[in-house]
Structure 1
């Protein structure tokens, strides 16, 4: 089985979204694997050599940020967020579609403006040459990554809302 056929068989998304989902999940998987290796090395070093990995806490924090923000667009596009549908039976299908699109618009615009603010903070960190405490890694790069992934998630949210409205909600 070719690689392209494998991706097509395991990802329901269509077109470039399928490849974006694969790439982001690959980033998340590699990050999770590296976090596992880091934790094992840290514990092994701590118990057998009385010396832990320097900066393990910083690397774990950065790894978790990479992991979470790599998965946010994928979960958003797949509609994996928690949804409360208590009133769905009482409301009409047209109103539900309008409310779904409105919520997608509100969430995507919130993520967009959140990304704007985070990017502003990243630029300030870059100007000030802020670094992490032990490893002296540039903080601004991680913050820029979070801002960009917030924008990607905003795009995924609005396209998911429109996609559901146009293609999945037909009665």
Structure 2
């Protein structure tokens, strides 16, 4: 089986979204694997060699940010968020569709404005040359990554909302 055939068999998204989802999931999987190696090495070093790895806490925090924000657009596009549908039986299909569009717009615009504020924090971190405590890594890089991934998530949420609510739910 070729690589493209494997991707097509395992990803139901179409076009460039399929490749974006694969790339983001590869980033998340690689980060998770490296996080596992770091944690295991730190535990072995701490308990068997009486010497832990310096900066493990910082690297773990950065890896978790990379992991979470790499998966946010993919989960959003696939509609993997928790949805409470208690009132769906009491409302008509049109009302549910309108509420869905409203929530997609509200959440996407909130994500956009939060990402804008996060980006300003990243710029401030760069101006102040802020670095992490032990490893002296630039804080602005990870904050900027969080802002960009939040913007991508907002865009995927809008496209998911339009796609799911306007085209897939036609009767």
Corresponding residue number in structure 2 for 1:6: 6
Structure 1: distance between partners of 2:90 and 2:123: 48
Structure 2: distance between partners of 1:115 and 1:21: 20
Ranges of 4+ aligned residues in structure 1 off by more than 2 Å: none
Correspondence list, 1:67-146, <5 A: 67-146=67-146
Structure 1: distance between partners of 2:84 and 2:40: 39
How many residues of Structure 1 are paired with residues of Structure 2 in the alignment?
171
Larger mean CA deviation between 118-127 and 161-170 belongs to 161-170
TM-score, normalization: structure 1? 0.99
Larger mean CA deviation between 60-69 and 157-166 belongs to 157-166
Secondary structure of the 1:91 match is coil
TM-score, normalization: structure 2? 0.99
What are the ranges of 5 or more consecutive residues in structure 2 without an aligned counterpart?
A: none
Secondary structure of the 1:80 match is coil
Secondary structure of the 1:110 match is helix
State the superposition RMSD in angstroms.
Answer: 0.5
Structure 2: distance between partners of 1:88 and 1:106: 19
Q: CA deviation at 1:168?
A: 1.3
1:32 aligns to 2:32 (yes or no): yes
Q: CA deviation at 1:94?
A: 0.8
Secondary structure of the 1:157 match is helix
